């Protein structure tokens, strides 16, 4: 009997994977269309072409349309790294000063905002569960995970998981086999 191996693609925490945002022509993908309008606006804003005002206006109209369709509040000037995935963009709110690293995954009803001064800085390859709140001038390390409905108010180290209200940091468990366990596992 042959065994099948499941191989997971390695997703970088530093290099954006732009294929994750790619939308085929006439494909119904509201989240990717919203991201495309953001990227279009940012390209036209930085352009030096004399007709750039037309591109900016078109990008703003696209952004408003897709913001209504998705019910997401993501500002045009936000700093989002490439490769962002939003499978269900309904109700996502991102503060204009928040920084989101590359290849992140954000589910529905997530709020990334402020409490007082400063906005969150989220590292690369971070997964944020449905309904989670990331609030305040905090840092979320690379490859961290924030559980569904968690309210994160403190820094989250890289590779850790945060769960609960208020969120508590759960260290990833390392299972170390003793020599006795290792011998019995082989034989």
Residue 18 lies in a domain: no
Residues 155-168 have pLDDT tens digits of 999 999 999 999 99
Q: Are residues 89 and 139 in the same domain?
A: yes
Q: Which of 96, 95, 88, 97 lies closest to 128, judged by CA? A: 88
Q: Are residues 51 and 90 in the same domain?
A: no
Residue 98 lies in a domain: yes
Structure confidence at residue 187 as a pLDDT band (50, 70, 90): very low
pTM of this structure: 0.83
Q: Are residues 91 and 55 in the same domain?
A: no
Q: Are residues 162 and 113 in the same domain?
A: yes
Q: Are residues 163 and 87 in the same domain?
A: yes
Q: Are residues 94 and 152 in the same domain?
A: yes
Q: Are residues 128 and 88 in the same domain?
A: yes
Mean pLDDT of 32-57: 92
Q: Are residues 85 and 62 in the same domain?
A: no
Residues 110-121 have pLDDT tens digits of 999 998 889 999
**Whether residue 131 has pLDDT greater than 50:** yes
Q: Give a three-class secondary structure readout of the chain.
A: CCCCCCCCCCCCCCCCCHHHHCCCCCCCCHHHHHHHHHHHHHHHHHCCCCCHHHHHHHHHHHHHHHHHHHCCECCCCCEECCCCECCCCCCCEECCCCEECCCCEECCCCEEECCCCCCCEECCCCEECCCCEEECCCEECCCCEECCCCEECCCECCCCEEECCCCEEECCCCCCCCHHHHHHHHC
Structure confidence at residue 6 as a pLDDT band (50, 70, 90): low
Q: Are residues 34 and 87 in the same domain?
A: no
Query: Residue 165: which domain range?
Result: 79-171
Residues 50-108 have pLDDT tens digits of 888 999 999 999 999 999 999 999 999 999 999 999 999 999 999 999 999 999 999 99
Q: Are residues 157 and 116 in the same domain?
A: yes
Beta bridge partners of 36: none
CB atoms within 10 A of CB 47: 13
Q: Are residues 47 and 117 in the same domain?
A: no
Name the one residue in this structure whose structure tokens are 């530093």.
14
Beta strands 161-163 and 168-170 are antiparallel
- Structure confidence at residue 3 (pLDDT): 64
| Tokens describing residue 14 | 């530093």
Residue 140 lies in a domain: yes
Q: Are residues 164 and 86 in the same domain?
A: yes
Backbone φ/ψ region at 116: left (φ over 0), alpha (ψ -120 to 50), beta: left
């Amino acid at each position: 009997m042959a065994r099948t191996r499941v191989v997971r693609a390695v997703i970088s925490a530093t290099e954006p994977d732009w294929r994750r945002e790619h939308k085929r022509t006439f494909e119904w993908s509201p989240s990717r269309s919203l991201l495309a309008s953001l990227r279009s606006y940012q390209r036209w804003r930085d352009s030096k072409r004399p007709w750039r005002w037309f591109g900016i206006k078109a990008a703003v109209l696209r952004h408003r349309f897709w913001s209504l369709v998705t019910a997401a509040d993501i500002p045009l000037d936000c700093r989002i790294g490439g490769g962002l995935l939003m499978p269900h963009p309904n109700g996502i709110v991102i503060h204009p000063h928040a920084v989101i690293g590359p290849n992140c995954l954000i589910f529905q009803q997530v709020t990334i905002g402020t409490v007082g001064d400063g906005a969150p800085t989220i590292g690369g390859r971070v997964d944020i569960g449905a309904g989670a709140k990331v609030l305040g001038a905090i840092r979320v390390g690379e490859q961290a995970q924030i559980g569904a409905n968690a309210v994160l108010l403190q820094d989250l180290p890289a590779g850790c998981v945060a769960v609960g209200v208020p969120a508590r940091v759960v260290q990833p468990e390392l299972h170390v086999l003793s020599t006795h366990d290792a011998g019995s596992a082989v034989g």
